[in-house]
Amino acid sequence: MALCQIHVPFRSSSRQKIARFSNTKLLRINCGYSSFEVRDVSYQPPGTQLKLLNSVSFSLPDKSLGLIFGQSGSGKTTLLQLLAGINKPTSGSIYTQKFWNDGNPSQPPEPLVPERVGIVFQFPERYFVADSVLDEVTFGWPRQKDSYQLRENLALGLQRAINWVGLSGLPLDKNPHSLSGGYKRRLALAIQLVQIPDLLILDEPLAGLDWKARADVVKLLMNLKKELTVLVVSHDLREFTSLVDRSWRMEMGGYLREELLPF
Ligand SMILES: Nc1ncnc2c1ncn2[C@@H]1O[C@H](COP(=O)(O)OP(=O)(O)OP(=O)(O)O)[C@@H](O)[C@H]1O
Ligand SMILES: [Mg+2]
């Protein structure tokens, strides 16, 4: 992580030569970093005896990409649903933590707010509800007269998000269901990027796409992780190898352990 350096004025002695920065001294400041943390999270759906997640712990530094893989039915989507606030953990905590560069916490932990998490579900196009791109991306926006300012901010965010995912030339009256597979994924992603999330989650983002669209999505995520913290669940390990910073295997029964990708 970057080490900040600033020059601060100090009282120079009369014997010191006058030179560039002669009346300043270099002060090194520990800028620090933040990290998304999951600690001892377990989950048992209400009314069942089944424990789907068992003491799951991991952390992901900001502006990096984490990948969770593992057998079908092991609990990956269940975990994502907890991170997005769709369900609540039975025990454990999910929070963000700021650190000094030496690894010591610089502030008390802050709970991860569900509104600040963006989630793109598996096959997100199945959940498209509108018959134009414009209606799809503005679905759920406030409509009241006094929310004009909020809508204006959302519109600015939408413009940025559309550019970010490479959809700037897309006609807004087009039916989202008529888009190619790759464009549908980009649209679903843009909707989640209108308000920049603290954590962006994607469940199987390459599933059902052809090779070209898969490569486009991987390239897009490569750029997004420069700005955002991204957590992906995928079976497509080979395609993610070049951009993964940390990876974990979910074992059957909801046990997560760190594991490097095999490629
Ligand atoms: N509400 C629930 N009640 C009981 N069992 C559930 C509930 N929700 C999910 N399960 C079970 O939990 C297990 C984990 O499901 P989950 O969808 O998280 O797996 P996954 O790792 O995402 O699988 P896949 O790779 O197929 O997407 C499965 O056996 C599923 O049937
Ligand atoms: Mg799943």
CATH number of the domain where residue 132 is located? 3.40.50.300
Domain annotation covers residue 190: yes
Domain annotation covers residue 42: yes
Which ligand has the minimum distance to the alpha carbon of residue 75? 1
- The reported pLDDT for the residue numbered 220 is 95
Q: What is the mean pLDDT of residues 9-23?
A: 44
- Whether 12 has a pLDDT exceeding 50, the answer reads no
How much distance in Å is there from the Cα of 142 to the middle of ligand 1?
Answer: 34
- Whether 17 has a pLDDT exceeding 60, the answer reads no
- The reported pLDDT for the residue numbered 146 is 85
- Whether 22 has a pLDDT exceeding 50, the answer reads no
Domain annotation covers residue 263: no
Q: What is the mean pLDDT of residues 137-146?
A: 88
How much distance in Å is there from the Cα of 79 to the middle of ligand 2?
Answer: 9
Q: What is the pLDDT of residues 28-81, one digit of tens each?
A: 555 788 999 999 999 999 999 999 999 999 999 999 999 999 999 999 999 999
Q: What is the mean pLDDT of residues 245-252?
A: 98
Using the atom order of ligand 1, give the atom closest to the CA of residue 78. Answer: 18
- Under the banding of pLDDT at 50, 70 and 90, the label for residue 26 is low
Least confident interval from 81-85, 99-103, 208-212, 237-241: 99-103
**Which structural domain, as residue segments, surrounds residue 162?**
4-258
- The reported pLDDT for the residue numbered 7 is 45
- The reported pLDDT for the residue numbered 23 is 53
Q: Enter the tokens of residue 57.
A: 């712990």
| Higher per-residue confidence, 25 vs 124 | 124
Mutating to test ligand 1, I would choose from 74, 79, 119, 252 the residue with most ligand atoms within 8 A of its C-beta, which is: 74
- Find the residues whose C-beta lies inside 6 A of ligand 1: 45, 48, 50, 52, 72-78
The residue ranges of DSSP E strands in the chain, in sequence order, are 4-9, 24-29, 33-43, 53-61, 65-70, 91-99, 110-111, 117-120, 199-203, 230-233, 246-251, 255-258
**Inter-CA distances, 137 with 41, 125, 162, 196, Å:** 33, 12, 10, 15
How much distance in Å is there from the Cα of 249 to the middle of ligand 1?
Answer: 15
Sign of the torsion angle spanned by Cα atoms 59, 64, 70, 73: positive
Mutating to test ligand 1, I would choose from 42, 49, 68, 78 the residue with most ligand atoms within 8 A of its C-beta, which is: 78
Mean pLDDT (the chain) is 89
- The reported pLDDT for the residue numbered 147 is 87
Residue nearest to atom 25 of ligand 1 (CA): 72
Residue nearest to atom 13 of ligand 1 (CA): 73
Which ligand has the minimum distance to the alpha carbon of residue 51? 1
Rounded CA separation 42/91 (Å): 5
Query: What's the structural domain count of the chain?
Result: 1
Using the atom order of ligand 1, give the atom closest to the CA of residue 75. Answer: 18
Q: What is the pLDDT of residues 154-180, one digit of tens each?
A: 999 999 999 999 999 999 999 999 999
What totals of helices (H) and strands (E) does the chain contain, helices first? 6, 12
Rounded CA separation 135/253 (Å): 41
| Percent residues over pLDDT 90 in the chain | 81
How much distance in Å is there from the Cα of 73 to the middle of ligand 2?
Answer: 7
Which ligand has the minimum distance to the alpha carbon of residue 78? 1
Which ligand has the minimum distance to the alpha carbon of residue 82? 1
How much distance in Å is there from the Cα of 150 to the middle of ligand 1?
Answer: 37
**Inter-CA distances, 78 with 42, 58, 93, 125, 147, Å:** 10, 15, 15, 20, 35
